[in-house]
Amino acid sequence: MESAAVRNPLARQIPGTPCWASLLVHELAASQEFYHGLFGWEFYSGPQHLGPYVRAMVDGREVAGLGEIAAGRSLDSAWLPYMACDDADATAGLIRERGGTVAVGPLDADDVGRLAIAADTSGANFGVWQTMPQPEGLNPPEEGAPGAPVWYELVTRDSSTAAHFYPAVFGYEPAAEGGQAAAEGGTDYVTLHLEGRPVAGVQGVGRALPRERGPHWKTYFSVADTDATARRVSELGGRVVHPPRDSPHGRVATAADPEGAQFSVIATAA
Residue 134: what pLDDT?
Answer: 54
Contact 149, 218 (CB under 8 A): no
Residue 256: what pLDDT?
Answer: 97
Per-residue pLDDT of the chain (270 residues; tens, 9 = 90+): 222 323 334 445 789 999 999 999 999 999 999 999 999 999 998 776 667 899 999 888 889 999 998 776 667 789 999 999 999 999 999 999 999 999 998 998 877 789 999 999 999 999 999 987 654 444 445 566 789 999 999 999 999 999 999 999 999 999 987 433 333 344 799 999 999 999 999 999 998 998 888 999 999 999 999 999 999 999 999 999 999 999 988 999 999 999 999 999 999 765
Residue 71: what pLDDT?
Answer: 73
Residue 221: what pLDDT?
Answer: 96
What are the Cα distances from residue 31, in Å, to 35, 68, 115, 188, 257?
6, 10, 23, 34, 8
How far, in whole angstroms, is CA 147 from its chain's centroid? 13
CA distance 104 to 126: 11
Residue 73: what pLDDT?
Answer: 67
**Which run of H or of E encompasses 31?**
helix 28-39
Residue 72: what pLDDT?
Answer: 67
Contact 219, 152 (CB under 8 A): yes
Residue 50: what pLDDT?
Answer: 66
pTM above 0.95, yes or no: no
